[in-house]
Amino acid sequence: MTAPEGGEEAGRVLVVEGDAGVAELERLYLTRAGLDVHVEPDPVRAVAALGRLAPDVIILELPAAGGGEVLRRITDAAAPAPIICVTPAGTAAPAAAAYQVARPFSPRLLVAMVTEALRGRAQRRAGLLRLGMVELDEHTRGVRVGGTAVTLTVTEFELLAFLLANPGRVYSREQLLEAAWGPVTGVGPRTVDVHVAQLRAKLGDGSPIRTVRGVGYAAGA
């Protein structure tokens, strides 16, 4: 098996696609890129197969309605494998989607997106998280913005690491509280706002953290 485009190590891709013709086209291009591809047309059976296949990346067809629930079931079973959501034309992917491609799309674009997802997963395994100008090393617990070291508190580091490890996904204050502080008492959700503000101030113009009004925060677009 050859390396996929971009020189990354070959990975296993699970394609969850109900249209046999589209699934075969995706399988063809991804296989040509040196990837190990498995196709499952039914999301329910795909969830059951995740433990056996242990994919590195999942390509998930989302329906026009109920896509959020489908994504949630796959995400819960597949973590931490990145998921590329394929959505109908004119339909936005759920906020939790890290990667999205809308129909109709070029198969080459899909291959490039899979390669990007594999690269991010490899960096995650190495303890390196990068997004925009920000680079975080989980082993040394160092953070750099545009090559310049930034000093963070323990909680700020944990909060940033969690968001960078899940780019594009929107998390509520309660979810971020659990991720960065753990099961503690006496700390309210608004504490997250304070720490996000401090993080943004330290990261400056390179901050990838964005506010999703009425929901919470996310890293990246």
Residue 1 located in a structural domain: no
Three-state secondary-structure class, residue 4: coil
7 pLDDT above the threshold of 80: no
* Residues 98, 163 within the same domain: no
Q: What is the mean pLDDT of the chain?
A: 83
Contacts 24+ apart (CB under 8 A), 206-215: 206/132, 206/133, 206/134, 206/145, 206/146, 207/134, 208/131, 208/132, 208/133, 208/134, 208/163, 208/164, 208/167, 209/160, 209/163, 212/95, 212/170, 215/95, 215/170, 215/172
The pLDDT > 90 percentage for the chain reads: 34
pLDDT band at 4 (very low <50, low <70, confident <90, very high): very low
* Residues 64, 144 within the same domain: no
Query: What mean pLDDT comes out for the span 120-136?
Result: 80
* DSSP string computed for 53-84: H--SEEEEE--SSSHHHHHHHHHHHHTTS-EE
Phi, psi of 210 (to 5 degrees): -125, 150
Residue 6 located in a structural domain: no
* Residues 117, 171 within the same domain: no
Residue 77 located in a structural domain: yes
Structure confidence by residue, pLDDT tens digits, 23-79: 999 999 999 999 999 999 988 888 888 888 889 899 998 876 667 777 777 877 766
pLDDT band at 6 (very low <50, low <70, confident <90, very high): very low
Residue at a domain's end among 100, 125, 150 = 125
165: CATH: 1.10.10.10
Query: What mean pLDDT comes out for the span 139-150?
Result: 93
* Residues 82, 148 within the same domain: no
Residue 54 located in a structural domain: yes
Query: What mean pLDDT comes out for the span 193-210?
Result: 94
Residue type, 218: A
Residue 91 located in a structural domain: yes
Residue at a domain's end among 71, 97, 125 = 125
| Domain with 194 in it | 128-219
* Residues 120, 155 within the same domain: no
* Cα dihedral across residues 182, 187, 193, 195: positive or negative: negative
Structure pTM? Answer: 0.58
Residue 5 located in a structural domain: no
Q: State the pLDDT at residue 2.
A: 41
* Residues 44, 68 within the same domain: yes
Q: State the pLDDT at residue 207.
A: 93
* Residues 120, 140 within the same domain: no
Q: State the pLDDT at residue 139.
A: 85
If one counts the domains in the chain, the total is 2
pLDDT band at 8 (very low <50, low <70, confident <90, very high): very low
Residue 59 located in a structural domain: yes
